[in-house]
Amino acid sequence: MAASFGQISCKLYPSAFSGELVFQVDTTVEGSYEGVAPKHFVKTATPPTKDGVDGQVRVHVISNGGEEARVSMPDGQVLTVPADKVHEK
């Protein structure tokens, strides 16, 4: 399977810097993971708040099959996540 781009469901929070947001995703192995992404890598219907809002962050999908997917996050971290949270383009 060739790698492709997609989006993963996440929680979004404001960052200390205006050009980025903090994202939080649930993984199947590591628990919860937090990282930062440029604003143009995220989608949300409402502006992020300190309590977090639902959104999506753009990822590089390395593999997606069965119940798990491997994705590369915008900050370079590779995570194993629930496959149903990944939406490939």
Which H, E and C letters describe 57-74, residue by residue? EEEEEEEEECCEEEEECC
Whether residue 66 has pLDDT greater than 90: no
Check if the beta carbon of residue 57 is closer than 8 Å to that of residue 13.
no
Flag whether the pTM goes above 0.75: yes
Structural domains in the chain plus CATH codes: 4-88 (2.30.30)
Question: pLDDT category, 69, cuts 50, 70, 90?
Answer: very high
Q: What is the sign of the dihedral through the CA atoms of 33, 39, 41 and 45? A: positive
Residue with tokens 């604003």: 39
At 2 the pLDDT is: 59
Whether residue 12 has pLDDT greater than 90: yes
- Dmax (CA) for the chain in angstroms is 38
